[in-house]
Structure 1
Amino acid sequence: MLALSWAKSAAASAVGGQHFRFNWLLPAFAALALSGCMPVTTQVASADPADPAAKVARVGYRSTIAPYTSLRPATPAPWRDRNDAVTPQPKQDR
């Protein structure tokens, strides 16, 4: 990508007068490249991971299927009784 921006800058400067648009690309890419070389200044963890006496939070276990109860084998009810249980009641004539 850096080579592409340099090529665009060279083409724009060859045309003349348009190279000012690409002048910000070189410092931007230089800052981006040098930012990878900077040391980390913030501490990632408060305790040393190699310290065996470091206090850590307890590990808890929660089952993802805890409320599940198996419904098989279930004896099927007669279909007519189940159908009548969910059928709307007939309306009374006024």
Structure 2
Amino acid sequence: MLTLSGAKSAAAFAVGGRHFLFNWPLLALAALALSGCMPATTQIASADPADPAAKVAPVGYHSTIAPYTSLRPATPAPWRGRNDAVTPQPKQDR
């Protein structure tokens, strides 16, 4: 691939009056290759991880089922009252 890119670049330079177009895959490959040589700029922690006196974030516990309340055993409601509560109201004559 690099040989083909070099040939395209040479052909583009050989043509007089035309502007050279960037070869974006070659530019991306060069950036990727150079990024491996860059030092890491962020530090995770300045303290030694093996230090038992190092400050750490507090640990907290939050229950995932905290709002749950048990409904069993529940006394059954009379079926007649429950049935009447969900039946449609009779239509009144106009």
Query: Structure 1 length as normaliser, TM-score?
Result: 0.60
More helix by share: 1
Q: Which structure 1 segments of 5+ residues have no match?
A: none
Task: Give the Cα separation in 2 of the matches to 1:46 and 1:54.
Answer: 10
Q: Distance in 1 between matches of 2:58 and 2:21?
A: 56
Question: Superposition RMSD on alpha carbons, in Å?
Answer: 3.5
In 2: Cα distance, 1:50 partner to 1:65 partner: 35
Q: Which consecutive unaligned segments of at least 5 residues does structure 2 have?
A: none
Given residue 49 of structure 1, which amino acid in structure 2 is its aligned partner? Answer: P
Query: Judging changes above 3 Å, is the alpha-carbon distance between structure 1 residues 81 and 43 closer, same or farther for their aligned structure 2 residues?
Result: same
Tell me which residue corresponds to 1:75.
75
Matches within 5 A, 1:1-94: 3=1, 7=4, 9=5, 20-21=20-21, 23-85=23-85
Q: Distance in 1 between matches of 2:75 and 2:3?
A: 77
Change (3 A) 1:80 1:21: farther
More displaced, 84-93 or 73-82?
Answer: 84-93
After alignment, is 81-90 or 45-54 more displaced?
81-90
